[in-house]
Structure 1
Amino acid sequence: MSLESVRAFFATRAPDIEVIVTEESSATVALAAEAHGVAPEQIAKTICVRAGESTALVVMSGTSRLDNRKFRDRFGAKPRMLGSEEVMAITSHPVGGVCPFGLATPVPVYCDVSLRKFSEVVPAAGAINAAVRIGPDQMADLTGAIWVDVSQDPASNGEATS
């Protein structure tokens, strides 16, 4: 059902965007980059997080990590990653196919500034072997996303902040 909800989303909002289904899995950033012939940082990974009582989707560059301090400063609470069953119930997408398109329930979407350095990104499309190629600004426009800066500064050498 999830892949179909994404296809329906694009059919009505951006019929020029094709949902690409591959034979191989693209459930991880590395697999998606290989399957679509792009650098891992060009994959737009979507994470489902809870901050206090609020749930949101954050879409960020595939090699970026969530910065706990930036997130807490922006949302007023520490992020908590949701389990796969909660993610499926909220989005209708399986982990590895989570995207901001064709959601089962209305969820706020935030796009991290780490995506802005690309003219095209490759987010999942509701299945572990489906994706789309889309400009980051078009993705934000189509999903009503708000731009935020919640990823780690690359100068931090990958060290998590809290």
Structure 2
Amino acid sequence: MAIEDVRKYFKKYDRDKDIIELESSSTTVELAAAALSVEAGRIAKTLALRSGDDIIILVAAGDAKIDNSKFKAEFKTKPKMLDADETFKWTGHRVGGVCPFGLKENLPVYLDISLKRFNTVFPACGSGNSAIELTCEELENYSLCQKWVDVCKNWDV
């Protein structure tokens, strides 16, 4: 079970007890925001993408959308979302619970600057009803991110 992999991952940081298991679904940004009583932007959505021949993980604010031209400038290719089966194959997490922690494969993780406007954000933890509250610095550290990128739009309006 993916949430158990994430719990095990966070145990080494002594943060496994900080995982929130919700009574209701958090499989979409809107559901997660409602379940956690926070604005949608604070949901740190995790996307599994194909960037050319590579698979990458992008974590962005819940109210942000990928900007194809910014993405192409950063990664030299257009983004392509993985389908549900590919996402599970590469991450070990089902769509709706995908997160940058406890990944099945060693995938590069990138964090979008759309997250930096919040003191804390809520990424999923491997299931469709879980989250953890992290500062952006904690998210950077725990996700082992490659770097911060600017590849999203519609969040700064």
- Common fold by TM > 0.5: yes
Q: Does 1:147 align with 2:129?
A: no
Q: CA deviation at 1:142?
A: 1.6
Q: CA deviation at 1:16?
A: 6.7
Structure 2 residue aligned with 1:81: 81
Q: Does 1:37 align with 2:46?
A: no
- Structure 1 vs Structure 2 CA RMSD: 1.4
**d(CA) in 2 for partners of 1:147, 1:17:** 27
Structure 2 residue aligned with 1:57: 57
Q: CA deviation at 1:17?
A: 5.8
**d(CA) in 2 for partners of 1:17, 1:112:** 26
Structure 2 residue aligned with 1:23: 23
Q: CA deviation at 1:13?
A: 2.4
**d(CA) in 2 for partners of 1:17, 1:137:** 19
Structure 1 residue ranges without an equivalent (≥5) = 158-162
TM, length-normalised to structure 2: 0.95
* Displaced runs of 4 or more, over 6 A: none
**d(CA) in 1 for partners of 2:14, 2:77:** 34
Q: CA deviation at 1:42?
A: 0.6
**d(CA) in 2 for partners of 1:149, 1:17:** 32
- The answer on whether the counterparts of 1:66 and 1:152 sit within 8 Å (CA) in structure 2 is yes
**d(CA) in 2 for partners of 1:128, 1:16:** 17
Structure 1 residue aligned with 2:131: 131
Deviation per CA, 1:58-105, whole angstroms, max 9, x where unpaired?
Answer: 000001000000000000100000000000011111100000011111
Report the structure, 1 or 2, having the larger strand content.
2
Structure 2 residue aligned with 1:160: none
Query: Sequence identity of aligned pairs in percent?
Result: 40
TM, length-normalised to structure 1: 0.92
Aligned CA distance change for structure 1 residues 55 and 102 (closer, same or farther; 3 Å): same
Structure 2 residue ranges without an equivalent (≥5) = none
